[in-house]
Structure 1
Amino acid sequence: MIRYSLICENAHDFEGWFSESADFDRQKASGFLACPVCGSLDISKVLMAPSVSTARHKEKIGALAVNEAQKEVAAKLKEVIASIRANSEDVGERFPEEARKIHYGETEVRGIIGQASLNEVKSLIDEGIEIAPLPMLPDDTN
């Protein structure tokens, strides 16, 4: 995972986690990247100091305290994601096809999750099909 410090046009600072550097550009271009404070889609990366991973650095990171509000938000987010996964059918790579069938009334309405390419996501949105990305948390991939 790659962590970027981000800022919106209204000067709200926040972090974003991406599986690779190109994910920031893809999410920004597709309109999936928004400021968590004001919802602005005009997001930029902020210059950051490089992070060099050493044993001592890892000890420091492990020792950093996360405030209670952050812990609560992270726990709630994990709960929501778990609930969505538990109450949805994972259709995998068939997601775009199944989303269209549901939207056009060709199959029963139900919650689905799965994978779609950036082009497929854009096509679904252009067709007026309401979809939303399910965030991958750092704990999900590490």
Structure 2
Amino acid sequence: MIRRVLPLVMISCFSCGVTPAQADFRLCNNTAGRVSVAIAYTDGHSWLSEGWWNLRPSACETLLRGPLAAQYYYVYAMDERGGEWKGKSFMCTRDREFRIDGREDCFARGFDRTGFFEIDTGRDARNWTVQLTDPSGSAAQ
């Protein structure tokens, strides 16, 4: 199935100014439709990708709990109409719920190979929230 890419999708990322007890990686769906989200990250030695979180419009979800352990995280999202928020960092995924170790040889291991976009949280961030928005800019900020 060929999916269309949402043109001019704005992805707004910012470090949260919340109390230290709430150090998490979160994603908020500020679009008009439901989105499915996957995340990938490394612990410095191995890669892990996991999904899917299904977020209704105007909902937020904590994807990783606790202080951030890395500077870079990778996210892929798709909406109900086939639109995608994607990038050039390829990770392993599959259609149903998953938690996959490693990002190499996805097809040979029976997985899909999906392009994730990179989030640079900075070296000292303890928490982070990604705001996923429609290209129309109609989403609440």
**Which structure has the highest helix share of the two?**
1
**Which structure has the highest strand share of the two?**
2
TM-score of the superposed pair, with normalisation by structure 1: 0.21
Q: Which has the higher contact order (CA 8 A, sep 6+)?
A: 2
TM-score of the superposed pair, with normalisation by structure 2: 0.21
